[in-house]
Amino acid sequence: APPKPQAPMKDTSAKLVNDAAHPWKPLAPADIRGPCPGLNTLASHGWLPRDGIASPSQIIEAVQEGFNMEYGLALFVTYGSHLVDGNLVTDRLSIGGKTSFTGPDPPAPAIVGGLNTHAVFEGDTSMTRADFFFGDNHDFNETLFDEFVDFSNRFGGGKYNFSVAAEHRFQRIQDSIATNPNMTFVSPRYFTAYAESVFPINFFVDGRLNTFELDLDVARGFFQDSRMPDGFFRANGSKSTEGIDFVAAQHPIEPGRNVNGINSYVVDPTSADFSTFCLLYENFVNQTVKGLYPNPTGALRDALDANLDYFFQGLTIFNGDGPGACVQVFPYGKD
Ligand code: HEM
Ligand code: MG
């Protein structure tokens, strides 16, 4: 079975991460990048393998070392995406498109398509990547970045901050409802969309600053070029989804989808929302993961059980183990 995740990183101070050992380099022909500017940047600076294929342990280490992402969130997001997008037997995940470099595929309906795979983890209403319906859900999109800039000018005095995040997140949802007939905005995408709207403030702002606002040139570097500014320091202390409640509260919207073409958004009461966080976990495991792996055997079954367990550990650290703690589910039994 795949190795246990390493212990949390101990020293969470701000420090130089665009250092001599981690220079930015342009892409080599076979290098893979995808929809996540955080992981793209870690790969282009060599905190992750530059080819864009990594194990969950490598990702968990890199997001802590390179950006000071909080350990529980790092586990939760990494194992969540690996379970649906990665090769569980070879312990390899593509941070972009499908590739034979992750090893031989398990039987269908498993996808092992990398982070570009639509609707299992990647989803609609991204800030700088278009909806899957429009043909490319992973490359930087200049038109969308221009809107990000416009919102930062209008609501943030030329910087991206939490007020901008709230207005822009709402706009991206409204845009998709009005233009994408297949628009879907249910768990887990419902949660990741709000989380990712605050990530640029929590992780792309230099750790020596306490401004909570992101310079737009710096933003372009990360989103477009997978590049840290010269002399960049990671966040000061581990960071997670700080600001998400503020962003979600400015323009509350319930999870749902367009059911009959554009402008036909209907709330989906079966989706988890902010008041039913554990349902995110339960539906993800019992429906999404089980749907991809209905009857696993042998090494595949062992790898699934191990990754599901690490995923639950991450959830428990992220969400807490007091009142409101989630209860582990075992889609393949407990033996
Ligand atoms: C988006 C995966 C860590 C910043 C995404 C997406 C995926 C992903 C699949 C695409 C979702 C979508 O927009 O449709 C992961 C995984 C991580 C991770 C598996 C492992 C821990 C990070 C870190 C940062 C980050 C450390 C910041 C330093 C972002 C941002 C977006 C995003 C800002 C939104 C991009 C946009 O909307 O244009 N991530 N991510 N991620 N990620 Fe990550
Ligand atoms: Mg997307």
69 CB less than 6 Å from ligand 1? Answer: yes
SS3 201: helix
* pLDDT score of 335 more than 80: no
Q: Distances in Å between the alpha carbon of 159 and those of 67, 128, 165, 199?
A: 20, 16, 10, 14
Residue nearest atom 34 in ligand 1 by C-alpha distance: 196
- The band of 210, judged by pLDDT with boundaries at 50, 70 and 90, is confident
Ligand 1 center from residue 315 Cα (angstroms): 17
Task: Give mean pLDDT, residues 31-50.
Answer: 99
Cα 116 from Cα 67, distance rounded (Å): 22
Counting ligands in written order, which one lies closest to the CA of residue 205? 1
Note the pLDDT tens digit of each residue in 73-97. Answer: 999 999 999 999 999 999 999 999 9
Ligand 2 center from residue 11 Cα (angstroms): 32
Ligand 2 center from residue 125 Cα (angstroms): 6
SS3 125: coil
* pLDDT score of 323 more than 90: no
* Whether the Cβ atoms of residue 125 and residue 131 lie closer than 8 Å to each other: yes
Mean of the per-residue pLDDT values of the chain: 98
